[in-house]
Amino acid sequence: MSRQQNEKLAPKAVILLSGGLDSTTTLAVARSQGFECYCLSFNYGQRLQQELEKAKIIAKLAGASRHLILNVDLNKIGGSALTDNIEVPKGRDLDNHDEIPITYVPARNTIFLSHALAWAEVLEANDIFIGVNAVDYSGYPDCRPEFIKAFTKMANLGTKRGDADQQFKINTPLISMTKGEIIKLGFELDVDYSQTHSCYDPAGQLACGKCDACLLRLQGFADAGVTDPVKYK
pLDDT at 205: 86
Taking the C-alpha atoms of residue 221 and residue 229, their distance in angstroms, rounded to an integer, is 10
Kindly list the domain boundaries of the chain, sorted by start residue: 3-224
pLDDT at 125: 97
Average pLDDT, rounded, for the chain: 92
pLDDT in tens, 89-107: 998 887 765 688 999 999 9
Please name the helix (run of DSSP H) or strand (run of DSSP E) that holds residue 77, with its range, or none: none
3-224: what CATH class?
alpha beta
pLDDT at 48: 79
pLDDT at 155: 96
**DSSP track, 84-140:** SS-PPP-S--TT--SS--TTPPTTHHHHHHHHHHHHHHHHT--EEE----SSSS---
pLDDT in tens, 132-185: 998 877 789 999 999 999 999 999 999 998 888 889 999 999 999 999 999 999
